[in-house]
Amino acid sequence: MPKSNLIIDEGNTLCKFAIVDNGIITDRAVGTNADDGQLQAFASRHQIGRIISSTTRTSEIKLPTQLQGIPHVKFTTDLRLPISIDYKTPETLGTDRIAAAAGAATLYPERNTLIIDIGTAITIDFLTADGVFKGGIISPGPEMRAKALHQFTGRLPFVEITGNAQLQGKSTTESIQSGIANGIRFEIEGYIERYQKTADNMLVIATGGFAEMFSENNPKIKIEPDLVLTGMNRILEMNI
């Protein structure tokens, strides 16, 4: 029986686990980190043949005893990639941004692609049709904006994030929600408009935990929730 690929994507807030068979995600789970019992329970349901792990945190991922000894790729910029990197400091480039670009190149080869990842932070990166990662922007994500307004002011409340905020808030809470939601939308729309002036046949992809909230019903954007996992699986297969 063929063994599966295990993908471990430890982000700033949550850790995603996925099983990939023949390029298709067949099982998944979410935990707080890669060291908790949930990963061990999740992996125990499968025959694992290869592992790739990525973390945006400062500590390294420690695999459970049952997974030690299985071929394991730790995601770094030194791996073989399906894209090339045009970035002044590739050693500081987040593996999540690389993986998202690799996922875009896998799903939509030979397309100019704008990749929007809306999570703890927002990243907007450009991948050329010939597979060159050109870099992009990093800005605060929705919850970070809400926390900053609350923590750096004396009286503004911490608000719930919503994607349905009106243009004109009628209370302080609604005004903050409007500023966050519409600020993000205008930011995204501005980048799309600017890139469309210079990139032919450009595809726009959104991913990340808040992708649907801020990209839903936008005909310019295709939502790919598994973009990073797809890219990590492609990189794993290129390196083992």
Q: CA quadruple 9, 239, 101, 4: dihedral positive or negative?
A: negative
Strand 24-31 to strand 15-21: parallel, antiparallel, or no bridges (unpaired)?
antiparallel
Is 78 annotated as catalytic?
Answer: no
With a CB cutoff of 8 Å and minimum separation 6, the contacts of 190 are none
SS3 at position 194: helix
- CA 81 to mean position of chain CA atoms: 17
Which one of 96, 117, 125, 226 is the catalytic residue? 96
Give the C-alpha separation, 71 to 49, whole Å. Answer: 7
CB count in 10 Å sphere of residue 26: 12
CA 2 – CA 59 distance, rounded (Å): 32
Cβ neighbours for 22, distance < 8 A, ≥ 6 positions apart? none
Closest-CA residue to 74 (of 125, 103, 34, 123): 34
Residue with the two structure tokens 């099983």:
19
Q: How far apart are CA 240 and CA 230, in angstroms?
A: 16
Which residues are tagged catalytic?
A: 96
